[in-house]
Structure 1
Amino acid sequence: MHNAVRNPWRPSVQNQMLEKLAIAEVIQNWAVWRDAGDWERLRTVWHDDGWMTATWFQGPAEKFIAVSQAGFDRGVSILHFLGGISIDLNDHRATAQTKMTISQRGLVDGVLVDVVCTGRFFDFLAKRNGRWAIVRRQPIYEKDRMDPVSPDARLTLDAALLDSFPEGYRHLAYLQTRLGFTIKKDLPQLKGEAVMRLYAEGLAWREGAPTAFPAGGPG
């Protein structure tokens, strides 16, 4: 009589993988639909209380979509590319870290430049009424650089202005300032107190905190 072969894929493990696949699809859809200007479908990756933080914007997801659409229509060029993803799951709560780059093109003192910022999206997610979606998105900014689009262009930056921004996103902030945006200067980077607080907030969220934000609320 042959011994029964034990299936290593227990139902609980299978279910976790399916949940993580659903979460990964949400995150991938965000990047594709945001960059394609597919605003109606972009709304579906957020819960109604979703909150978006970026260098140039902090506010409700619905307002983020509106201002992104307005920028898209007037030619603002901000694109995203995603890499590996790590998901921590606890029942109907999850956090996800996704390697990404933010690429923005624009004029700095009359010179067309590309800025590429490397980092991670840190997402707080919830499954409500059978649907995974984002409750809070906080990018982590690790490093960036600026290059003229034309190789023969000459570009001189204001050193004092550049140094006034955090190291992880200083070139992105410089370009966005030149384009008229107001930049938040205390965002999480690769190391430091801000990113450690973010990790702690993510853990608290997975363990059942009433909101995805610290005691002071979103900001």
Structure 2
Amino acid sequence: MPTDREDRQDLRELVENWALWRDAGDWDRFATVWHPTDGWMSATWFQGPAPEFIAASRAGFERGVEILHFLGGHTADVAEDRAICQTRMTINQRALVDGVLVDVVCTGRFYDFCSREPDGWKIVRRQPIYEKDRLDPVDPAARLELDAELLARFPTGYRHLGYLQTKAGMTVKTGLPGLTGAAVERLYEEGAKWLAGSPTPGSSHLEVAS
């Protein structure tokens, strides 16, 4: 069996491969980071099985949707063939909002439910935790008036990201985990149960309605 250190190194590589292969459009290799049958992705704009997420990401990539991921600190709790990984991340998206080109930077963590499979560690469920974000015009001289009512629809952690994605025609889910609150506390409880041997990585990942 691999050592604890080897497991942690493999899990870190798994998370890094997710970001690099997804952002580069390397879809065949991106598919290999997911559990072959149970992979599930939750995001502001998508909640569903990994193969559908891959297809949706690929379609957006080919249309020119610009979403990039940058990773920071990482930790993993390992219990035999289960793991929970948390990785500091930022999500960067560039798009037009009311004719003005803007960048949104959202800071948070990837919270990953992982399992050891015959060919290595795989992501069973990914749930980002959205902590804070900001929106800036690419041209500092540009003027942009935000719709306060639309902006207030989304939680603080991804308020501007939700605003941009809604303006871009995406359907954005509300109530996703932030730095504090009931949603993130439930996520932590589901993570603890996963490490303790729960047959599923929580139930909230199946809630796909906005």
TM-score past 0.5 threshold: yes
Larger radius of gyration: 1
* 1:180 and 2:154 matched: no
* Distance in 2, Cα, partners of 1:164 & 1:42: 32
- Tell me the distance in 2 between the aligned counterparts of 1:55 and 1:206: 26
Cα distance, 1:93 vs structure 2: 0.1
Q: Distance in 2 between matches of 1:41 and 1:217?
A: 24
Q: Does 1:191 align with 2:180?
A: yes
2:101 aligned with 1:93, yes or no? Answer: no
Q: Following the alignment from structure 2 to structure 1, what is the Cα–Cα distance between the partners of residues 4 and 23?
A: 29
Which residue of the partner structure matches residue 35 of structure 1? 23
1:145-197 deviations in Å (ceiling 9; x for gaps): 00000111001000111011111100000000000001100100000000000
Partner of 1:83: 72
Cα distance in 1 for partners of 2:119, 2:190 equals: 24
Query: Counterpart amino acid of 2:32?
Result: T
Give per-residue Cα distances to partners, 1:48-84, cap 9 Å, x unaligned. Answer: 2100000000000010000100000000000000000
Q: 1:26 is matched with which residue?
A: 14
Q: Name the SS for the 1:46 alignment partner.
A: coil
What is the CA deviation profile of residues 83-107 of structure 1, one whole-angstrom value per residue up to 9, with x for unaligned ones? 0001000000000000000000001
- Structure-to-structure mapping, 1:1-219, within 5 angstroms: 15-48=3-36, 49-214=38-203, 218-219=206-207
Taking structure 1 as the reference length, the TM-score comes to 0.92
Q: Percent identity?
A: 61
Aligned residue pair count = 206
3-state SS, counterpart of residue 187 of structure 2: helix
Distance 1:190 1:65 in 2: 27
For 1:96-119, what per-residue CA distance to the aligned partner results, in whole angstroms no more than 9, with x for missing partners?
000000000001000000000000
CA distance in 1, matches of 2:201, 2:184: 15
Please give the alpha-carbon distance, in whole angstroms, between the structure 1 residues aligned to 2:102 and 2:141.
12
Quote the RMSD (CA, aligned, Å): 1.2
Which runs of 5 or more residues in structure 1 are unaligned?
1-11
The runs of at least 4 aligned residues of structure 1 exceeding 4 Å deviation read: none
Give TM-score, length-normalised by structure 2. 0.96
Gaps of 5+ in 2: none
Structure 1 residues 217 and 168 mapped into 2: Cα distance closer, same or farther (>3 Å)? Answer: closer
Distance 2:190 2:124 in 1: 13
Distance 1:70 1:187, change over 3 A: same
